[in-house]
């Protein structure tokens, strides 16, 4: 496959065309020739500068397998060779081979992983670098695997809880489209030929049916254009940020989202502290995980900590904790086990999120069924109301 790369050498920027099996290999070939890769293009898809978009590399699986091999007594080089030999996916195998090549050059594992920012995030690289200093890479990998498994479990629970409500909305919407787009226009034609007076609500509904009957293709085109425009508008970062700000202002939902973000923040920061990373550095690294408002609060917390204030007081002063969590932070300060205490706070928050998700799902599902059934029932009654009137007049 051919790739067009935008590269730089010194002050000169130029385009370079290379033949490679994937984007990662194309970047490495260009770097071997002394170029700095700014962007790459393949099949009309432009990747991010210095990266290649979303990679198919499974970081969780890599960490689990590397942990098992290292825990079995293999050296790092032997473990990487074993992972590369058994790998079937071309992109993953290329990345592992290049990581091994960097290790052969004398780089530490963190330095080798740092060459692939699109695959290994800064948090992961920092955890590995910290473990290299302390010599506990197995414990660091185990800590990451546990952390990622807990995060994935919460995410899967939220996704699973949302499947049934989404299914109800989709099915209800399809039924409404069928009634309004197919059934109502035909009832409209029947009632027009009868010449009878209709109730005003039925007339309104049947007017919609006549509109679809006479201008169905134009109505479908307008609907598709409206859906496309709505999708484009919602894809804009500024619009999404505005929508999220509105959602955060909803009392119950906004507080649940805040707790979810704090749970991820505390769990990640606790993992970094357990890996030996300093507190202020860890806060700077995990700031990107937070929503903008909480990110601003975290900067204020960081400023207070730099000035010598205790973390619990700074967190409490800037709305980054709860009444229970601040007490747990104080215990962590007294005992010197802040990393462990933050992970426990993350577990506590996760349990709150699970209860909130269960409560919300149990409330939303019957509410959606009632609303959808009510709307469909109103449409059906309005369609059949003239028939009911005719039956009454005959009696």
Number of domains in the chain: 2
Same domain, 111 and 144: yes
Same domain, 15 and 85: no
Give the span between the Cα atoms of 380 and 369, in whole angstroms: 16
- The token pair at 223 is 């609907």
User: What confidence category does residue 225 fall into, taking pLDDT thresholds of 50, 70 and 90?
Assistant: very high
End-to-end CA distance of the chain: 79
β-strand partners of 7 = 14, 37
Lowest mean pLDDT: which of 16-20, 260-264, 278-282? 16-20
**In contact, 94 and 29? CB cutoff 8 Å:** no
How would DSSP label each residue in 96-164?
A: HHHHHHHHHTT--HHHHHHT-TTTS-HHHHHHHHHHHHHT-HHHHHHHHHHHHHHHHHHHHHHHHHHHH
Q: 112 or 26: whose pLDDT is higher?
A: 112
Same domain, 64 and 17: no
Give the span between the Cα atoms of 349 and 353, in whole angstroms: 6
Same domain, 83 and 123: yes
In a domain, 99, yes or no: yes
Three-state DSSP at 227 gives: helix
Give the CATH number, domain containing residue 118.
Answer: 1.20.81.30
Average pLDDT over residues 156-160: 79
Q: Inter-axis angle of helices 184-194 and 200-214, to 10 degrees?
A: 110
Q: Which of 9-23, 47-61, 128-142 has the highest mean pLDDT?
A: 128-142
User: What confidence category does residue 290 fall into, taking pLDDT thresholds of 50, 70 and 90?
Assistant: confident
Share of the chain above pLDDT 70, in %: 85
pLDDT tops 70 at residue 197: no
**In contact, 361 and 161? CB cutoff 8 Å:** yes
Same domain, 78 and 102: yes
pLDDT for res 51:
40
Average pLDDT over residues 68-85: 87
pLDDT tops 70 at residue 25: no
Lowest mean pLDDT: which of 23-27, 330-334, 346-350, 358-362? 23-27
pLDDT for res 50:
37
In a domain, 117, yes or no: yes
Q: Which of 87-91, 202-206, 238-242 has the highest mean pLDDT?
A: 87-91
In order of 2, 27, 208, 234, 366, the CA distances from 372 in angstroms are 52, 52, 19, 25, 10
Question: What is the pTM assigned to this prediction?
Answer: 0.59
Work out the mean pLDDT of the chain and round it to a whole number. 78
Q: Any residues with CB less than 8 A from the CB of 67 and at least 6 apart, and which?
A: 138, 141, 142, 145
Give the CATH number, domain containing residue 20.
Answer: 3.10.20
pLDDT tops 70 at residue 79: yes
Look up residue 236 and give its DSSP letter. Answer: S
Give the span between the Cα atoms of 240 and 296, in whole angstroms: 18
- The token pair at 107 is 């780089």
Same domain, 93 and 133: yes
pLDDT tops 70 at residue 193: no
Give the span between the Cα atoms of 220 and 230, in whole angstroms: 15
Same domain, 64 and 142: yes
Burial 130-168 (b: 16+ CB within 10 A, else e): bbbeeebbeebbbbbbebbebbeebeebeeebeeebeeb
Same domain, 10 and 70: no
Q: 196 or 211: whose pLDDT is higher?
A: 211
pLDDT for res 389:
62
pLDDT tops 60 at residue 391: no
Phi, psi for 200 (deg, rounded to 5): -65, -35
Give the span between the Cα atoms of 16 and 35, in whole angstroms: 10
Q: Any residues with CB less than 8 A from the CB of 358 and at least 6 apart, and which?
A: 161
Q: Which domain holds residue 28?
A: 2-46
Give the span between the Cα atoms of 250 and 189, in whole angstroms: 45
Q: Where are the beta strands (DSSP E) in the chain?
A: 2-9, 12-19, 36-42, 45-46
Average pLDDT over residues 357-369: 81
Of 114, 148, 182, the domain-final residue: 148
In a domain, 154, yes or no: no
Of 116, 132, 148, the domain-final residue: 148
User: What confidence category does residue 188 fall into, taking pLDDT thresholds of 50, 70 and 90?
Assistant: low
Same domain, 22 and 80: no
Same domain, 10 and 85: no
In a domain, 97, yes or no: yes
Q: 11 or 46: whose pLDDT is higher?
A: 11
**In contact, 190 and 213? CB cutoff 8 Å:** no
In a domain, 340, yes or no: no
In order of 173, 196, 390, the CA distances from 394 in angstroms are 36, 13, 6
Average pLDDT over residues 95-101: 88
Same domain, 76 and 142: yes
pLDDT tops 80 at residue 209: no
Average pLDDT over residues 28-38: 72
pLDDT tops 60 at residue 108: yes
Same domain, 74 and 141: yes
Average pLDDT over residues 131-140: 80
Q: Which of 141-150, 305-314, 353-362 has the highest mean pLDDT?
A: 305-314
Look up residue 395 and give its DSSP letter. Answer: -
pLDDT tops 80 at residue 44: no
Nearest-5° angle of CA 62, CA 65, CA 66?
Answer: 80
In a domain, 105, yes or no: yes
**In contact, 90 and 26? CB cutoff 8 Å:** no
Average pLDDT over residues 188-204: 65
In a domain, 120, yes or no: yes
In a domain, 73, yes or no: yes
User: What confidence category does residue 11 fall into, taking pLDDT thresholds of 50, 70 and 90?
Assistant: low
């Amino acid at each position: 496959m051919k790739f067009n790369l935008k590269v730089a050498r010194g002050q000169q920027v130029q385009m370079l065309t290379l033949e490679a099996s994937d984007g990662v290999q194309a970047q490495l070939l260009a770097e071997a020739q002394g170029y700095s890769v700014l962007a790459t293009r393949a099949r009309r898809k432009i990747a991010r500068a210095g990266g290649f978009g979303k990679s198919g590399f499974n970081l969780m699986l890599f960490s689990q397998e590397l942990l098992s091999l290292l825990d079995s007594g293999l050296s790092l080089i032997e473990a990487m060779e074993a992972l590369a030999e058994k790998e079937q996916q071309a992109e993953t195998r290329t990345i592992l081979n290049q990581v091994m090549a960097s290790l052969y050059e004398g780089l530490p594992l963190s330095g080798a992983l740092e060459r692939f920012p699109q695959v290994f995030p800064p948090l992961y690289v920092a955890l590995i670098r910290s473990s290299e200093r302390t010599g506990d890479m197995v414990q660091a990998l185990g800590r990451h695997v546990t952390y990622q498994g807990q995060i994935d479990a919460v995410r899967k629970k939220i996704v699973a809880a949302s499947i049934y409500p989404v299914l109800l909305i989709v099915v209800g919407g399809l039924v409404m489209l069928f009634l309004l787009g197919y059934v109502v226009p035909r009832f409209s034609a029947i009632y027009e030929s009868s010449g009878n007076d209709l109730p005003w609500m039925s007339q309104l509904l049947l007017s919609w049916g006549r509109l679809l009957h006479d201008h169905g293709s134009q109505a479908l085109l307008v609907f598709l254009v409206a859906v496309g425009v709505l999708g484009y508008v919602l894809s804009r970062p500024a619009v999404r940020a505005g929508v999220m700000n509105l959602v955060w202002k909803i009392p119950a939902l906004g507080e649940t989202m805040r707790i979810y973000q704090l749970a991820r923040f505390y769990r990640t920061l606790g993992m970094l502290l357990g890996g030996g990373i300093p507190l202020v550095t860890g806060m700077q690294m995990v700031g990107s995980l937070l929503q903008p408002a909480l990110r601003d609060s975290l900067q204020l917390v960081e400023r207070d900590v730099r000035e010598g204030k205790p973390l619990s007081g700074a967190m409490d002063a800037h709305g980054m904790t709860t009444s229970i969590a601040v007490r747990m932070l104080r215990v962590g300060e007294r005992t010197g086990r802040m990393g462990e205490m933050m992970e426990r706070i993350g577990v506590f928050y996760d349990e709150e999120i699970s209860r909130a998700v269960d409560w919300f799902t149990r409330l939303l599902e019957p509410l959606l069924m009632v609303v959808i059934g009510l709307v469909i029932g109103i449409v059906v009654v309005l369609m059949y109301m003239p028939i009911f009137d005719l039956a009454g007049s005959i009696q």
